[in-house]
Amino acid sequence: MAAEVLRMIPTKESVELDDRQLVEQIRQGDDRAFEMLVRRKTSKVYGLCYRVIGNSEDAKDISQLVFLKLWENLEKYDATYAFDTWLYRMVTNVAIDFMRSKQSRDNAVNSNLRLVKTSIDPEQTVTVARKEVESVFNAVSNVLSPKQKTIFVMSEMEDLRSSEIAKVLGCRESTVRNHLFNARKLMQTQLKRRFPEYARLWEESR
């Protein structure tokens, strides 16, 4: 008897709704379902925004904007497609728009400024620290276009396949691979110029 009762109590997995079911509940006017969805997707959305934008406060604002857009456009979501693809598309659109406007603002302000990097001795032994990699990434990824950077982040850090990125961005897989190739090349050139101590890693491994 006790075993039967136990079997009837739903486990957490069986109760937890998947993304599509949550969307359905939100469409029926359930605000708590939306809160659940936001909580579930915050790390994903904020993480991608943070990697692409490179600034925690801007990334937070953009993430909130993404969720607000999500709330506004939830009626347009077609449940035959993966929810994450649709969400990623929204994130990349908003983040790329933000990056473009930020780049044009920065260009206007810094048109006469040139970054002078004082790097450490290239012959010095390389000890890689994660925080350092992050700051190097933020420094060298500025040469990428917003789209290139978004593709690079989705591929290298979010581990999305080219086919998935193509679906998110609504372009061909070959276009994604092309952007990725160019992005890697640009990043390595920048590393060589501004952080020769790390560029040595590639030269040594050849």
Partner 1 sequence: MMICTYFRANLQPGNADAAMLEHLRHCDACLDFAMSVDPDLFFRSLGGDEIVPPGGIDAFVGDVMSQVRVHDAETSLARRHSVSAWQRWAIAATVAAGVTGATLAYRYEHAAPQPVHIIAAAKPRPAATATKSFVETYSSHDATIVEMPNDGSDTKVVMIFDDKLPADL
Q: Which residues bind partner 1 (CB under 8 A)?
A: 31, 34-35, 38-39, 42-43, 46-47, 50-51, 56-57, 59-60, 63-64, 67-68, 71-72, 126-130, 133-134, 137, 152, 156-159, 184, 187, 198, 201-202, 204-205
Shortest Cβ 111–partner 1 spacing (Å): 28
C-alpha to C-alpha distance for 4 and 70, rounded to whole angstroms: 42
Question: Taken in order 140, 127, 117, 121, is the CA torsion positive or negative?
Answer: negative
Q: Which is nearer to partner 1, 104 or 126 (CB)?
A: 126
Rg value, the chain, Cα: 21
Q: Which is nearer to partner 1, 84 or 158 (CB)?
A: 158
- Burial call 76-110: b when 16+ CB within 10 Å, e when fewer: ebeeeeebeebbbebbbbbbbebbeeeeeeeeeee
Q: Which is nearer to partner 1, 161 or 172 (CB)?
A: 161
Shortest Cβ 101–partner 1 spacing (Å): 21
Question: Token pair for residue 63?
Answer: 């993430």
Look-up of token digits 């029926």: 28
Shortest Cβ 87–partner 1 spacing (Å): 14
C-alpha to C-alpha distance for 53 and 144, rounded to whole angstroms: 12
Shortest Cβ 75–partner 1 spacing (Å): 13
Q: Which is nearer to partner 1, 74 or 171 (CB)?
A: 74
Q: Which is nearer to partner 1, 110 or 163 (CB)?
A: 163
Q: Which is nearer to partner 1, 70 or 99 (CB)?
A: 70
Provide CB contacts within 8 A for 77, sequence distance 6+.
23, 83, 86
Shortest Cβ 180–partner 1 spacing (Å): 11
Shortest Cβ 173–partner 1 spacing (Å): 19
C-alpha to C-alpha distance for 67 and 171, rounded to whole angstroms: 24
C-alpha to C-alpha distance for 164 and 169, rounded to whole angstroms: 9
